[in-house]
Chains A and B, each alone.
Chain A
Amino acid sequence: MGFKLKRFFRYIKNNPTQVWFYIVLTLFLIWCGFFAFNKVRIFWAEKQISSKTQEIAEKQSQLNSLTSSEEFKRYDLAKSLNNKEKNVYWTDTISSLIYMFDKVKSLNWTDGTSFNDFKVDMNSIKLSISTQDIKAIYASGWILDRFLWLEFVNKVNVPNYKKEWTIYQFDLDAKIKTDDTTDWK
């Protein structure tokens, strides 16, 4: 092994031009290989690009012919309208408000208790209540309880109670549940 290596180095020493020639030739051939490889890649890529461009042009033409139809345009507009113009369905809103109003109206009001200034929207119910007996407000199963039992009511708030002559008056504000689980019908 050592002998062969010595001979190899002696050969290099004695034939520097030849050695350089082989080195340059090898590098040149590698360089040519890369060059040729790139040229082949360019050729294939251009071929693919040309075929894809043609395919896209054909499909685009089919697409244009489909999308230019009146029906397509109308459907596209319909989709856009449905996505952008979200409706509040007033049919359901008014039905729900009437349902809530009926429920409040049908609460079993005791003698001497009345309500007025009823205001209802989809977020809250507001009304003024008058009663002769303060016990009727808090007693179990009476005025406050009846509001708390309403399934569509989320939170009931009475800021203050006022006595005028012999009648207790208060404003009741009930927040409406905003989730979709309430059955209004």
Chain B
Amino acid sequence: MTQQIENNLTNSVSLENIKLRNIKQKAYIFILLVLTYLFWGSFQDSFSQVEALNSQNIALDNQLIQVESDLSDANKINEITKTAETNKDKIVACINEKRCDMLETSKDIKDNISTIRTYFLINKFDISKMDFNQKAILQNINEFLLNSVSNPNWNINIISFWVPTLADYDKDIYKLPITLSIDFANKNMLLNFLENMEYKLPVLNGVYYKINSLNYNIVNYDIGQTVNIWVDAYFYK
């Protein structure tokens, strides 16, 4: 009898425990569901946040690659301009007299010789009280293109300067149309003039020209002619 009572008591305690455990577990389930509900928004946001950060990271990687590439190019240009400035006499000899042996060590200079020629020719033509530095252009035409210091017999009839306009809106390059009328005693003098304009490099006061057109009678090339030349001079301010 006592044994049975004890068994009943034990069963009753065990049932109570199970009930209590069930209640606790239901409470836990409830708490877990509530927590999930409360943080569900943050959980969802975390995915979109990860995605956005990953895209930002990729964009920054690309930006970094671009900046590094630009920086490397800028460093290279910096090196080239420094070398060019210190070796200008050698560059002039290479361009004008085809003596490029002295430039053998400067591969970058040799590879970019055309750009370096333009680099020395394009100049800042700021001068007070004038739209552009006409003195520099006149000096270049007279002393370099016509080489009149050693050949005083050139005859310049007309030099007309037109209004400079922006040649390239992004780069601030100005284009100045110039009309020239010059007497050339023979074709070699004309060719010498054109070669100075198109291929050679003065030591001082360079000007970058582009010839638009000229009138020259080929049939009468063996006699002196007055040649009209329409050119654009380029500079920046």
Q: List residues of A whose CB falls within 8 A of some B CB.
A: 17-18, 20-21, 24-25, 28, 31, 34-35, 38-39, 41-42, 45-46, 48-49, 52-53, 55-56, 59-60, 62-63, 66-67, 69-82, 84-85, 87-91, 94-95, 97-98, 101, 118, 120
Contacts and interface: CB of A to CB of B under 8 A. Distances in A.
Contact of B122 (A52, A59, A77): A77
Interface of B: 21-22, 25-26, 28-29, 32-33, 35-36, 39, 42-43, 46-47, 49-50, 53-54, 56-57, 60-61, 63-64, 67-68, 70-71, 74-75, 77-78, 80-82, 85, 114-116, 118-119, 121-124, 167-168, 171-173, 187, 190-191, 194-195, 198-199, 208, 210-211, 214, 216, 218-219, 221, 234, 236
Given A24-B29, A28-B32, A35 B234 contact: no
Given A49-B56, A91-B198, A77 B43 contact: no
Contacts of B47: 38
Given A87-B211, A91-B198, A120-B218, A21 B46 contact: no
Contact of A38 (B49, B64, B219): B49
Given A31-B43, A94-B194, 6 more contacts: A20-B29, A38-B43, A45-B56, A56-B60, A72-B81, A87-B198
A38 B53 CA distance: 11
A28 B40 CA distance: 11
A81 B26 contact: no
Contact of A56 (B64, B118, B122, B210): B64
A23 B214 CA distance: 92
B26 A17 contact: yes
A114 to B, nearest CB: 14
B75 A66 contact: yes
Contact of A17 (B22, B49, B115, B219): B22
